[in-house]
């Protein structure tokens, strides 16, 4: 039952209000009569003193004032001489009850027998006494003050009031308060339930929204228009939802970047391992040849063919030199120190010069070119020379017997600028190999035989240089006009 804040709030409110009503009832039962008597005595005394201060007055005025006093205070008022003779009473007549006569006699007996009482009466502003009627135990309150009638303080004004009306009023109020307590308890319980539901309804909504936030469900919320603390909490929850959604989206994007970095790290680690393996393989073969032929010469195995052995050793040394040069070039293009010396130069002329350097390398190949004249670009001329040489070398190396290499350079500045295409045929690369063509030491020849004389680093160097320039490039399988399958390398100098 008390797990619900609605029930808790209703219960606590009912208990608090009920406790307040109960305390009020206890006060009425135990102290109200005494409190009422004290208030009545004080009022009677103050009104009697005020009556005694009004002088001089005619007999008619005296009687009228006495009647007004009695009506106002629900008490009897008598004017006596100092000797105890009655001078004035109200216009109601002489109907004086026996208890009042008894009290008046007792009062005058106290004055006659006790000089201290007399001194207190005439020496100060007056006295107050409480008398109890012995037969029925009724309490009476008497107040007496000196009053001037014919001379200063020649008379005594005595007010007598019964406490019976006070007791009856107190008893009536006590009985009424019991019903008031029961009715108040019922009304309080009903109001507490209604109010608690009104208060907890928005709290239940906030709890529901908070539960959605806990499950990372960031749906749009209608912000409360309330201006109280619940409204402030609702707006804070809305702001929290928005901030958490942004933070989660940012975290997801960073996780994706982190995952990409980890994948890239794994890829680089694999490339590093492959690089070490490949470079070991590439160096192992020429070193073994050099070592074998050198030992043959030293051991005198060959005498007449020593020049041939030395020629093989020289060729392998040159291959190792070329490999090391390519490795240094690749390492440089991948380092932060790699920079470009941008200048404007004639690309058509550079392609023609590079093409001429490769003519005659393979007698069985035909090199055809369609070079658009005077095509100028802004790039690093030295680095672009390396790119062109590696592309042509790769095309010549991986073209079949009696094949053809076609070189074309077009220029359409209104569309996309100069485009270089180098196509060699017959040649073919599988789609899987096309994805790895830019990887270091990748060779189409899986057995890694050295019949082609390629280090496998040329296209990696080309990729780094073109990426640094920001040029677009690509390689694909094509079919030439004569129906032969070939490989086309494209560079867009945009």
Domain ranges of the chain: 31-162, 339-492
Orientation of helix 164-214 relative to helix 5-30, angle to 10°: 170
Q: Are 403 and 424 in contact (CB under 8 A)?
A: yes
Whether the pLDDT of residue 304 is over 90: the answer is: no
Q: Sorting pLDDT into bands at 50, 70 and 90, what band is 421?
A: very high
Which of 57-61, 70-74, 244-248, 331-335 is the most confident on average?
70-74
Q: Are 81 and 154 in contact (CB under 8 A)?
A: yes
Mean pLDDT of 252-279: 77
Provide the token pair at 115.
Answer: 């000089």
What is the overall mean pLDDT for the chain? 78
Report pLDDT digits (tens) over 1-27. Answer: 555 666 666 677 777 777 777 777 777
Q: Sorting pLDDT into bands at 50, 70 and 90, what band is 449?
A: very low
The position carrying tokens 């009687």 is: 63
Q: Is the whole-model pTM more than 0.85?
A: no
Mean pLDDT of 100-110: 80
Beta strands in 51-114 (DSSP E): 76-81, 86-88
Orientation of helix 381-397 relative to helix 458-469, angle to 10°: 140
- The number of beta carbons lying within 10 Å of the beta carbon of residue 54 is 12
Provide the token pair at 11.
Answer: 């219960």
Beta strands in 70-207 (DSSP E): 76-81, 86-88, 127-132, 139-147, 155-162
| Distance (Å, whole) CA 148 – CA 365 | 155
| Distance (Å, whole) CA 91 – CA 93 | 5
The pLDDT, as a whole number, for residue 124 is 67
| Distance (Å, whole) CA 78 – CA 95 | 12
Phi, psi of 299 (to 5 degrees): -80, -5
Q: Sorting pLDDT into bands at 50, 70 and 90, what band is 469?
A: confident
Mean pLDDT of 292-303: 72
The position carrying tokens 């009536």 is: 172
| Distance (Å, whole) CA 400 – CA 490 | 20
Instruction: Report the CATH number of the 31-162 domain.
Output: 3.30.450.20
Strands 139-147 and 127-132: antiparallel
Residues with Cβ within 8 Å of 312's Cβ and at least 6 positions away in sequence, in order, are 289, 293
Share of the chain above pLDDT 70, in %: 78
Q: What Rg, from alpha-carbon coordinates, does the chain have?
A: 61
Mean pLDDT of 439-459: 58
**Which is more confident, 330 or 474?**
474
Ramachandran quadrant class, 216 (left: phi over 0; alpha: psi -120 to 50; beta: rest): left
Whether the pLDDT of residue 428 is over 80: the answer is: yes
| Distance (Å, whole) CA 301 – CA 292 | 11
The position carrying tokens 């095509």 is: 375
Looking at the DSSP bridge assignments, the partners of residue 144 are 127, 158
Q: Are 391 and 463 in contact (CB under 8 A)?
A: no
| Distance (Å, whole) CA 68 – CA 8 | 57
| Distance (Å, whole) CA 486 – CA 426 | 5
Share of the chain above pLDDT 90, in %: 8
Beta strands in 224-351 (DSSP E): 342-346
Please indicate whether the domains covering 31-162 and 339-492 agree at the CATH topology level: no
CATH assignment of 339-492, among 3.30.499.10, 3.30.565.10, 1.20.1260.10, 3.40.1030.10: 3.30.565.10
Helices and strands of the chain, counted as H and E runs: 12, 12
Nearest to 165 by CA among 153, 173, 157: 173
Whether the pLDDT of residue 345 is over 90: the answer is: yes
Strands 366-371 and 404-412: parallel
- The number of beta carbons lying within 10 Å of the beta carbon of residue 380 is 18
The pLDDT, as a whole number, for residue 349 is 93
Q: CA separation (Å) from 440 to 58, 186, 291, 326, 330?
A: 137, 90, 27, 11, 9
Cα atoms in the 13 Å half-sphere on the side-chain side of 337? 5
The pLDDT, as a whole number, for residue 91 is 67
Phi, psi of 404 (to 5 degrees): -145, 140
| Distance (Å, whole) CA 489 – CA 288 | 35
The pLDDT, as a whole number, for residue 451 is 44
- The number of beta carbons lying within 10 Å of the beta carbon of residue 82 is 15
**Which is more confident, 136 or 453?**
136
| Distance (Å, whole) CA 327 – CA 488 | 25
Whether the pLDDT of residue 251 is over 80: the answer is: yes
Over the range 227-262, which residues count as b (16 or more CB within 10 Å of their CB) and which as e?
eeebeebbeebbeebeeebeeeeeeeeeeeeeeeee
With residue 417 as reference, give the H or E element that holds it: strand 417-425
Q: CA separation (Å) from 85 to 88, 130, 272, 281, 389?
A: 10, 22, 135, 149, 151
């Amino acid at each position: 039952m008390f797990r619900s804040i609605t029930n808790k709030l209703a219960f606590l409110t009912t208990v608090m209000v009920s406790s307040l009503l109960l305390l009020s009832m206890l006060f009425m039962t135990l102290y109200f009569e005494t409190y009422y008597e004290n208030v009545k005595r004080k009022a009677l005394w103050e009104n009697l003193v005020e009556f005694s201060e009004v002088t001089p007055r005619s007999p008619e005025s005296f009687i009228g004032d006495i009647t007004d006093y009695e009506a106002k205070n629900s008490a009897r008022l008598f004017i006596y001489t100092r000797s105890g003779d009655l001078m004035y009473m109200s216009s109601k007549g002489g109907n004086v009850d026996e208890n009042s006569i008894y009290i008046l006699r007792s009062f005058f007996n106290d004055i006659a027998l006790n000089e201290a009482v007399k001194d207190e009466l005439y020496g100060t502003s007056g006295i107050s006494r409480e008398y109890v009627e012995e037969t029925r135990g009724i309490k009476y309150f008497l107040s007496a003050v000196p009053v001037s009638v014919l001379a200063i303080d020649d008379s005594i004004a005595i007010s007598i009031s019964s406490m019976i009306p006070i007791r009856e009023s107190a008893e009536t109020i006590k009985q009424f308060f019991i019903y008031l307590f029961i009715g108040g308890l019922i009304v309080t319980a009903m109001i507490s339930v209604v109010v608690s539901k009104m208060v907890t309804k928005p709290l239940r909504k906030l709890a529901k929204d908070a539960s959605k936030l806990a499950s990372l469900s960031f749906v749009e919320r209608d912000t409360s228009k309330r201006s109280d603390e619940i409204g402030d909490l609702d707006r804070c929850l809305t702001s929290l939802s928005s901030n958490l959604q942004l933070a989660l989206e940012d975290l997801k994007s960073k996780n994706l970047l982190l995952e990409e970095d980890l994948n890239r790290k794994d890829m680089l680690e694999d490339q590093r391992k492959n690089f070490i393996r490949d470079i070991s393989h590439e160096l192992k073969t020429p070193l073994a040849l050099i070592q074998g032929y050198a030992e043959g010469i030293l051991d005198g195995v060959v005498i007449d063919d020593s020049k041939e052995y030395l020629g093989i050793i020289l060729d392998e040394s040159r291959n190792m030199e070329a490999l090391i040069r390519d490795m240094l070039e690749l390492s440089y293009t991948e380092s932060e120190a790699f920079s470009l010396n941008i200048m404007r130069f004639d690309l058509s002329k550079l392609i023609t010069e590079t093409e001429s350097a490769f003519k005659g390398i393979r007698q069985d190949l035909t090199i055809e070119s369609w070079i658009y004249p005077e095509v100028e670009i802004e790039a690093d001329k030295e680095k672009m020379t390396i790119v062109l040489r590696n592309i042509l070398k790769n095309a010549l190396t991986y073209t079949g017997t009696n094949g053809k290499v076609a070189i074309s350079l077009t220029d359409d500045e209104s569309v996309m600028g100069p485009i270089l295409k180098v196509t060699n045929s017959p040649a073919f690369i599988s789609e899987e190999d096309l994805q790895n063509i830019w990887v270091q030491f990748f060779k189409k020849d899986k057995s890694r035989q050295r019949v082609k004389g390629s280090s496998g680093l040329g296209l990696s160097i080309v990729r780094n240089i073109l990426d640094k320039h920001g040029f677009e490039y690509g390689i694909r399988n094509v079919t030439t006009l004569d129906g032969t399958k070939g490989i086309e390398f494209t560079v867009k100098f945009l």
